[in-house]
Structure 1
């Protein structure tokens, strides 16, 4: 039976329609085997082994596909766990506290006094500069 599955997997590109679905055809093709059926997904090329019991057909992925599926599932599980750890660690970091209104008022008062003192120094220096500057006659206008 494994030779039949390998043969069907190898023939998958030949069994798949070249330009999508032909009208009236389904997505899956079923082939009878000695133990049941082999189901071919004509879109993805996946092969499943199907068995009939009690009037119902139950399908399982082929062993190679199952292994690939489980590997992908494990990879995704590890990624989700890593993302959850990152999220937990960012939630545990305390958020910075914003200043209160009193702290803002105090800071603004300090800044205001500092600017007033600076402006007083500038005015004082401007006044000294006027006193020390030599008095000269204004230059005549050139027209």
Structure 2
């Protein structure tokens, strides 16, 4: 510590103030990290959120009865970057495998002799023929239904008519029974 050597009170006070100022800075030189701006603290519902301004790490701090404890918050950005890296590696592997398979396929001979590359024309056996247009008159000819088609239609209409009559009879019996 400094001591005053002069007899004057004024010089002693100045010297004492100087010693306290210089000595205070020497003692306070190791200030906590929160004082020089490394950490930014934000209150939360159950504690404090701490941001390390140098590294960007985020921690949650809370008092659990035994003292304050801080736990690092998982960094989603790092996890996403790692996943993107894995996916890009998979894409590269799949592209190389695809090229290898294409080259392998191109080196093989055709397995079916006489195979043609263009597809065969599609024809639908159940498709009705399109109406014919004659050259001179420009009339549309519509094909008439066959006898088989007419029999199916008549059978359907007969069944529908019988069901309708049966339904009318049931309604009539129900109404007569209630009167």
TM (norm. structure 2) is 0.25
Q: Which has the larger radius of gyration?
A: 2
TM (norm. structure 1) is 0.31
- Which is bigger in relative contact order (C-alpha 8 A, separation at least 6)? 1
